[in-house]
Amino acid sequence: MTWHAQMIAADQAFDGAPLLRTEFALEDGHGAVARATLTLTAQGVVEAWLNGRPVSDDVLTPGWSSYEWRLRYATYDVTALVEASASESATVLGLALGKGWFGGRLGWSGGGSYYGDAQGAFAQLEVEFADGSTQLIVTDDSWASGPSAVLANDLYDGETIDARLRDDAWKRPGFAGDGWTGTHALEFDTAKLEPYIGPSVKRWAALPVQEISTSPSGKTLIDFGQNLVGWIKVRVQGPAGTEVVIRHAEVLEHGELGVRPLRTAQATDRYLLSGGADEFEPTFTFHGFRYAEVDGWPGELRDEDLRAVVVHSDMRRTGWVETSNELVNRMHENAVWSMRDNFVGVPTDCPQRDERLGWTGDLNAFGPTAAYLYDVRSVLGSWLDDLAAEQAEKGYVPWVVPDILSTPSPPTALWSDVAVSLPWALYQEYGDQGILRRAYPSMTTFIRSVEAVLDENGLWSSGFQYGDWLDPDAPMDNPAGGKTDRHLVASAYLAKTTREMAETAAILGEDDDARHFTALADRVRAAFRREYVTAGGRVANETATAYALAICFGLLDEDQRRHAGDQLARLVAKAGFTISTGFAGTPMVTDALSSTGHLAEAYALLTETRCPSFLYPVTMGATTIWERWDSIRPDGTINPSGMTSLNHYAFGAVCSWLHRVVGGIQAAAPGYRRLLIAPQPGGGLTHASARHVTVHGEVAVTWRIEEGVITVDVTIPPGTEALVRLPLHPEAAEVTVEAGTHSWRYSAPGAERPEYSMDTALNVLAADPIVWRSLTEVFAKHLPGIPIDGNAPEAAGMTLELLLQYIPGAAPELREDLEQAVTTAAVPA
């Protein structure tokens, strides 16, 4: 595209959001307007109007990219708006400019204006006439600039609007306002301009108030019932100059607004009233919140005065799961909300505090789930372009993209290797080799950088690693200090990514690279096995994460894999099916169990509700995924670590297992051109359904168990075929089907309930994961902190009756609860 516009700024420095305008007449003698196109971007965020009419419903345009090398521009068809102004004396193109990511605060160190102080706007309007001629209207130093009613704006801190200063006359012809001055061109390289790849950010929904209450200290509190990202749209009338202050937060603590998780982010909007009927919508900021504290409201605050406006990147929803377990359904919905809330231009770790950065590890863990839930080709394609630009300029993959960290990011497993694993995950989802080709230079550069630092044994044994970040057993002040050796995690992930790299090279016909990376993958795998795996299949550290990675990344032979699965099942049972994994292990642990014959244990892990567990946050009222397993402690207080986001999608990665194993939808070939339909009922579920919109169309699976009869309904999209493994079929039937809808109905094999009693040996009880989970809950209730191991050698000769004899003064309630646990616990499916 040929650029005639310039990046312009106001001559006068305004504290808030400056306004820019130009007035023009359409040229005569060329006939009617055939087409009018506006190209728009900014160093900041920009909104545009033509004669007072908004050109788009986009917000926060142009979003956040690696501004040093990429500035995206939006293109709008404004033909109807230009035609509508043709009968008027002139046309006004007006722009409002906010700080956004370019000029506002970023990160937790308190810094701002990382990309410079020169906020500016760039617009090029091309009007095409019926005779083929064109007229250009562009930003240059002929434009005028002036103050707006926005006195302050920042993504972290909020927006201040003075309704007394509003005057929409600036958007219309003939305006000559006080305090207006000129503009000047900024130094700007138009080679950085790129069209939007990812979708724009839009308003998605407006949620009503669920409750208005008064806090113990007398504050007015608003509850919208859902943790969300966006802002509150306000309608209010009061005396001129009245200040209404609204502060946002995700949680209440001791009945007051819980602002500690925000750290230094103020998340506060301020409104000065005009004296008439005012409406406020702070579109130059966004907040992560469920609750708000309102101060200074004139008169009675009514539900209808406030609406929570939800914003996110305009992605198309593609994945759904529903089961007979409402807690599981809520957890899945929480993951959807956390993804939605953290995809505002770029995929971020959290949307509320003084951070909101594109952390690579969070996205790498969640990537396959993200690709199931939404069509992320464009939004993550754009983000990968940012990653490649940062990597090419800096020589490493940053831990956050775009990168505003003050120090370099050394190669790190799960974080930096997103350069390989995310393109690979997107290829598996969409089957588009172009994704791999576009990312190939970045992928190979990363793998070669790690290859260069391997030790003489082929291990990634040096350098900083995040390890199994936020393992619940890690010290509160050291979330990287989990149970699993960090370099074991690093070498396991390197085995995975080198294999992905080798397969990518082969797919793209890069034969020399394919041979090289295959040899490297073999070397890394052999090094891992030599260092961390015994001949029998025990994995060093004896942690759930170590076993899960070794199993899921193909690092064991078949006998070792079977033994490792047994060991993993014992570990999760010993923990009472509470969670003992962090970012590295959590996406893999349920797969590692179910793929080694321990489906019941996987379901027990999924459905546990004690802290820490997948469902504990749900029992505490969570409506999004938490950063820590105990971001809110059982007593209702906020975890005091200072790192307690309540909207962090990483641990929602288990939803990938829900889609593939519970729902039963798996890609048997990249892009779902072949499918495996293999739901695996368990965990007491009586039904489940899953839908996924693939590049070929929608796949749908529903299974239901009623009175010993199972019904399975499957819909396969055109141009594909599927192997269907009928769940709980008495003959383990498999059938290959073509596109269309197919149904099966058959008797499911019954499962007789084992008869347990207080005299049953502990090792027998421990072999039943559902019964054992019930027992561990009883012991946690009555004897907290005292471990019980049903797999210890002495467990074969120990019964609950005998165990009680070793507990002096045991309360009668303990016996009653133990008897109930062994006689009423559900039988695993």
Hey, which residues are catalytic here?
Answer: 355, 627
How is residue 160 written in tokens?
């201040």
Residues 6+ positions from 153 with CB-CB distance below 8 Å: 16, 17, 98, 99, 104, 159, 160, 282, 284, 285
For the chain, report the end-to-end CA distance as a whole number of angstroms: 62
Handedness of CA 730, 734, 735, 740 (dihedral sign): positive
Q: How far apart are CA 50 and CA 95, in angstroms?
A: 9
203, 59 in Cβ contact below 8 A? yes
How is residue 212 written in tokens?
């208005």
For β-strands 268-272 and 158-162, DSSP reports them as parallel
Q: How far, rounded to the nearest angstrom, does the alpha carbon of residue 435 sit from its chain's CA centroid?
A: 21
What value does the CA radius of gyration of the chain take, rounded to a whole number of Å? 29
Q: How far apart are CA 16 and CA 1, in angstroms?
A: 32
Q: How far apart are CA 451 and CA 392, in angstroms?
A: 18
| Angle of the 377-394 helix axis to the 433-451 helix axis, nearest 10 | 30
618, 630 in Cβ contact below 8 A? no
Q: How far apart are CA 792 and CA 627, in angstroms?
A: 34
User: What does the buried/exposed string (b/e) look like for 194-207 if buried means 16 or more CB atoms within 10 Å of the residue's CB?
Assistant: bebbbbbbebbeeb
How is residue 194 written in tokens?
């790129």
Residue 427: C-alpha distances to residues 388, 438, 664 (Å): 17, 11, 20
What order of strands is seen across the sheet that includes strand 665-667?
665-667, 674-677, 721-725, 734-737
Chain position carrying tokens 């210890």 = 792
Residue 1: C-alpha distances to residues 4, 38, 46, 124 (Å): 10, 13, 21, 11
Q: How far apart are CA 805 and CA 283, in angstroms?
A: 67
Q: Count other Cβ atoms within 10 Å, centred on residue 158.
A: 24
Tally of residues, the chain:
829
DSSP type of residue 315: P
The answer to whether the bond into 612 is cis (omega within 30° of 0) is yes
617, 477 in Cβ contact below 8 A? no
How is residue 83 written in tokens?
């035609």
How is residue 152 written in tokens?
């302050």
386, 65 in Cβ contact below 8 A? yes
Chain position carrying tokens 């120990």 = 798
For β-strands 251-253 and 343-344, DSSP reports them as unpaired
How is residue 394 written in tokens?
């800096």
DSSP string, 620-655: TT-SS--SSTTSB-TTSPBPTTS---S--GGGGGGH
Q: How far apart are CA 119 and CA 145, in angstroms?
A: 13
Nearest CA to 151 out of 162, 167, 166, 136 is that of 162
Q: How far, rounded to the nearest angstrom, does the alpha carbon of residue 274 sit from its chain's CA centroid?
A: 40
Q: How far apart are CA 409 and CA 220, in angstroms?
A: 44
Q: How far apart are CA 593 and CA 564, in angstroms?
A: 10
